[in-house]
């Protein structure tokens, strides 16, 4: 798996600026600690049909994908078709408010396993100039359905 430390820095900085909290403890090896964290973290870019561009090990396990497949996947495909409108409303709320920390919903793995996530935080990713460059999500509560 390729871990882009610059992208991880964007994830961590944007999260802290918007929520006032650290996703992982500041210090050395943040990219490695985020990758190995026991909670989900993933992000996507700003394409018309946003594609996943980061997922830690927990994300890869939940979605039952290898890194190479994960980072080619349109993020909309992480939800079943009937849930995609709900997912789009969530992303619009995040765009408007910067972040939310109360999202719950059903997702589906590449192999068809459904799981409910609870209390997810979803936030905008910004570059150093404050321009939006994507969105990310984290959660530590899920159950298979």
Query: Domain of 29: which CATH number?
Result: 3.30.450.20
Neighbours of 35 (CB within 10 A): 20
Q: Where are the alpha helices (DSSP H) in 2-145?
A: 5-19, 30-35, 57-62, 67-70, 84-97
pLDDT of 82: 65
Q: Model confidence over 57-100: pLDDT tens digits?
A: 999 999 999 999 999 999 989 987 766 777 778 778 888 888 99
- Tokens for 123, please give them: 């936030």
Radius of gyration of the chain (CA): 14
Q: Which residue has the higher pLDDT, 133 or 88?
A: 133
Res 1: pLDDT: 47
Determine the pLDDT at residue 64.
98
CA gap 73, 79 in Å, rounded: 12
The residues with which 44 forms a beta bridge, in sequence order, are 52, 135
Q: What are the pLDDT digits (tens) for 3-62?
A: 578 899 999 999 999 999 999 999 889 999 999 999 999 999 999 999 999 999 999 999
3-class SS of residue 64: coil
Q: How far is residue 41's CA from residue 47's CA, in Å, rounded to a whole number?
A: 19
DSSP code, position 111: T
State the Cα–Cα distance between residues 11 and 127, nearest whole angstrom. 10
Residue 99 sits in which domain range?
A: 5-144
| pLDDT over threshold 80, residue 127 | yes
Q: Tell me the C-alpha distance between 1 and 116, whole Å.
A: 26
* pTM of structure: 0.91
End-to-end CA distance of the chain: 28
Number of domains in the chain: 1
């Amino acid at each position: 798996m390729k871990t882009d430390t610059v992208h991880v820095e964007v994830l961590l900085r944007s999260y802290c600026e918007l929520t006032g909290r650290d996703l992982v403890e500041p210090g050395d090896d943040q990219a490695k600690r985020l990758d190995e964290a026991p909670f989900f973290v993933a992000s996507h870019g700003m394409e018309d049909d946003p594609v996943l561009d980061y997922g830690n090990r927990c994300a890869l396990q939940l979605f039952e994908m290898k890194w190479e497949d994960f980072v080619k996947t349109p993020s909309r495909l992480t939800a079943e078709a009937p849930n995609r409108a709900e997912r789009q409303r969530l992303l619009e709320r995040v765009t408007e408010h910067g972040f939310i920390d109360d999202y719950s919903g059903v997702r589906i793995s590449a192999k068809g396993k459904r799981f409910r996530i609870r209390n997810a935080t979803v936030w905008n990713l910004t570059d150093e100039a404050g321009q939006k460059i994507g969105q990310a999500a984290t959660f530590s509560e899920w159950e298979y359905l």
